[in-house]
Amino acid sequence: MIVACWNVAGRVTRLPEQAERVLACEADVVCLQEVTQSTLARWRSILSARDYVGLEHGELPNGQGRTRPLAVLTACRQPIRRVALSGMPWPERVLAVRLGDGTELVNIHSPISSKPEMAKVRTHEAVHAHVADVSATPRIVCGDLNTPRKEHADGTIWTFARDRYVEVEDCHYEHRWREDGLSDHSALLARLRIHRTAG
């Protein structure tokens, strides 16, 4: 399974170029962050026209005092269904879906630390509580977490790619997409092998 994950930075005028790069990856699953009210319909249309039959997104709030609400969008070449998540302070920022093979995928765009009411901490706690629940279902968490899993004294980090059910066969950043000004984030492309347990 190839997963393309990218914070598209809400870009409107560069969206056609962004879509061209995303589609060229021929990913099985596309997880986007920072989708806006202005770009959501266009992303859905572009992806559905290229055989992404499973499309879900976080519901953008009306008002709530936030000046620029941002949502996540998950697209898959197979049907998907939304999985309920509880305790999310900004529910448009986290989306869990179940793929046709049973794998669960959580697409997250974590608020930054300075946001009020500990939105980042509460988001991470809620995601952790969800994925820590014992399950034989393989789970993939991806997105813009705004933090590594662990930082070592020598400057190296552990990402959230370490998991007993999912082996990362290949993973790399597409820095060129950022360097070309299509976003202020590099995209992440990963080829994953899902390990299934009996039962």
Tokens of 107: 């697409």
Beta partners for 55?
75
Beta partners for 96?
83, 106
**What tens digit of pLDDT does each residue of 123-154 get?**
999 999 998 877 768 899 999 988 766 667 77
Beta partners for 32?
6, 73
SS3 101: coil
How much is the pTM?
0.83
Say what the pLDDT of residue 43 is.
Answer: 98
Q: How confident is the model at residue 66 (pLDDT cuts 50, 70, 90)?
A: low
**What tens digit of pLDDT does each residue of 169-179 get?**
888 999 999 99
Say what the pLDDT of residue 181 is.
Answer: 96
CATH of domain 2-194: 3.60.10.10
Say what the pLDDT of residue 32 is.
Answer: 98
Q: Which of 114, 110, 75, 113 is nearest to 90 (CA)?
A: 110
